[in-house]
C-alpha cells in the first residue's frame, strides 16, 4: 500500500501539469483565431470558386490543374446570361415578393412577440408552444393541401399565392419574444402612465428598441424568401411571374455543361443577399446574442 501511494504521488503531478498546460493553450487567443480563420476560409472557398469561374472562358475552366485567379478575364458569361434570361423581370418578381413577405412576417412576429413577452393571459404558454410546435412539421407534408386551397381561392399563379401562406413565422415569433424579455417593464409602465395606448407603445417605443432582432430577422428571412424554390415552382406556372431561383434552375438544366454561364447566373442571384448581409452583419451578431441563441 505504501508503494502504491508512492506511485500515485509520483505520477499525479505530471498529469496535473499536463492538464494545466493544455488549459493554457486552449485559452490563447491565437488558437481561437486560427480555428475561426480556417472555418471562414472553408466557407468562403466555394463562393470564391464560383466568382472566379464566372469570369473565365470555357477553355480555361477545363484546365488541369485548375486556377483560382482567372488568367484570361472575360465578361462574356455575364453578357450571355443577360441575353438568355429576362433578369429584369426575374429580379423585380423576386424582389417584390421577398420584400413583401419579409415585411409581413417580421411585423406579425414582432407583434406576437410583444404580446407573448409583455402580457399575461390565460393559455398563454399553451398557445405559444403550439406555435413553436408548427416548426417541426415539414413543409412537404402540407404542400398539396395548401396548393389546393390556393386553387380553390383562385390565387393560383399569382403573387398572393406566394405571400399569403407565409404571413407568420414561428421562429421569428420566438426570436422577438426572447428579445422582449430584455426590455424593462418599467419603460412600458411609464408610457402607460403617460396615457399612451398599446399601439402607440408598440410602434413608437418597442419597435425602435428592437433594432438588433429586426436586423437579424430581416437578414434571415430575406435570404430564405429570396432563395425559396419549392413553393414558387409548384404554384407559379407562367414565366411572367417566375422567381429567380426557379428560372435559374431551369437555366442550369439547359446549360449544365457550360460552367462559366451557370456560375455567372448563380453569382447574379447571390449578390442582393450578400449585400444585405454585409450591411447588417454587425446587428445580426448582436441580435443573436441578445435573443438567447448564443
Farthest-apart Cα atoms in the chain, separation? 89
The pLDDT of 5-12, averaged and rounded, is 46
Give me the mean pLDDT over the 230-241 stretch: 88
Domain positions in the chain: 2-54, 77-290
Give the mean pLDDT of 77-93: 85
Buried/exposed 25-61: b ≥16 CB within 10 Å, e otherwise = eeeeeeeeeeeeeeeeeeeeeeeeebbbbbbbeeebb
pLDDT tens, residue by residue, 148-163: 999 998 888 889 999 9
Over residues 240-274, the pLDDT tens digits come to: 888 988 888 887 777 766 777 888 888 888 888 88
Residue 28 has pLDDT above 70, yes or no: no
- In CATH terms, 77-290 corresponds, of 1.10.3720.10, 1.10.20.10, 3.40.50.10470, 3.40.50.300, to 1.10.3720.10
pLDDT at 288: 61
Looking at residue 110, its pLDDT comes to: 93
pLDDT at 294: 42
Query: What is the mean predicted confidence (pLDDT) over 59-65?
Result: 76
**23 Ramachandran zone, left/alpha/beta (phi>0; psi -120 to 50):** alpha
How far CA 151 is from CA of 98, 148, 161, 246, in Å, comes to 22, 5, 9, 20
The answer to whether residues 167 and 108 touch, using CB atoms and an 8 Å cutoff, is: yes
Please report the pLDDT score of residue 285 as a whole number. 65
Q: How far is CA 122 from the centre of its chain?
A: 34
Nearest to 235 by CA among 149, 134, 107: 149
Position 12 confidence tier, pLDDT thresholds 50, 70, 90: very low
pLDDT in tens, 109-166: 999 999 998 888 888 889 999 988 888 888 888 899 999 999 998 888 889 999 998 8
**How far does CA 154 lie from the centroid of its chain?**
31
Q: Which of 51-65, 73-87, 219-233 has the highest mean pLDDT?
A: 219-233
Per-residue pLDDT, 291: 54
pLDDT in tens, 191-212: 888 888 889 999 988 998 888 8
Q: What confidence category does residue 92 fall into, taking pLDDT thresholds of 50, 70 and 90? A: very high
Q: Using the predicted structure, report yes or no on whether residue 52 has a pLDDT greater than 80.
A: yes
Q: Distance between CA atoms of 279 and 39, rounded to whole angstroms?
A: 21
In SS3 terms, 145-166 reads as: HHHHHHHHCCCCCCHHHHHHHH
As a whole number of angstroms, the distance between CA 95 and CA 243 comes to 9
pLDDT digits (tens, 9 = 90+) for 221-233: 998 999 888 999 9
Amino acid at each position: 500500500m505504501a508503494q502504491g501511494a508512492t506511485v500515485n504521488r509520483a505520477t499525479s503531478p505530471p498529469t496535473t501539469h499536463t492538464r494545466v498546460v493544455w488549459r493554457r493553450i486552449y485559452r490563447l487567443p491565437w488558437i481561437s483565431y486560427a480555428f475561426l480563420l480556417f472555418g471562414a476560409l472553408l466557407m468562403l472557398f466555394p463562393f470564391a470558386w464560383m466568382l472566379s469561374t464566372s469570369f473565365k472562358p470555357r477553355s480555361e475552366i477545363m484546365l488541369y490543374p485548375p486556377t483560382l485567379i482567372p488568367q484570361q478575364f472575360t465578361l462574356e458569361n455575364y453578357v450571355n446570361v443577360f441575353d438568355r434570361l429576362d433578369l429584369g423581370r426575374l429580379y423585380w418578381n423576386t424582389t417584390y415578393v421577398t420584400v413583401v413577405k419579409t415585411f409581413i412576417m417580421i411585423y406579425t412576429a414582432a407583434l406576437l412577440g410583444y404580446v407573448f413577452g409583455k402580457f399575461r393571459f390565460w393559455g398563454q404558454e399553451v398557445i405559444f408552444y403550439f406555435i413553436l410546435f408548427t416548426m417541426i412539421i415539414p413543409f412537404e407534408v402540407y404542400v398539396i393541401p395548401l396548393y389546393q386551397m390556393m386553387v380553390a381561392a383562385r390565387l393560383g399563379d399569382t403573387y398572393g399565392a406566394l405571400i399569403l401562406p407565409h404571413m407568420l413565422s414561428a421562429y421569428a415569433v420566438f426570436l422577438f419574444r426572447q428579445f422582449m424579455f430584455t426590455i424593462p417593464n418599467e419603460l412600458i409602465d411609464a408610457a402607460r402612465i403617460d396615457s399612451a395606448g398599446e399601439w402607440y407603445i408598440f410602434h413608437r417605443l418597442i419597435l425602435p428598441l428592437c433594432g438588433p432582432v429586426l436586423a437579424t430577422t430581416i437578414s434571415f428571412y430575406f435570404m430564405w424568401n429570396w432563395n425559396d424554390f419549392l413553393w414558387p415552382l409548384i404554384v407559379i406556372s407562367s414565366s411572367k411571374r417566375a422567381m429567380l431561383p426557379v428560372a435559374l434552375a431551369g437555366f442550369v438544366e439547359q446549360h449544365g455543361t457550360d460552367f462559366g454561364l451557370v456560375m455567372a447566373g448563380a453569382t447574379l442571384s447571390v449578390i442582393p443577399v450578400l449585400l444585405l448581409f454585409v450591411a447588417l452583419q454587425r446587428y445580426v451578431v448582436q441580435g443573436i446574442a441578445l435573443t438567447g441563441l448564443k
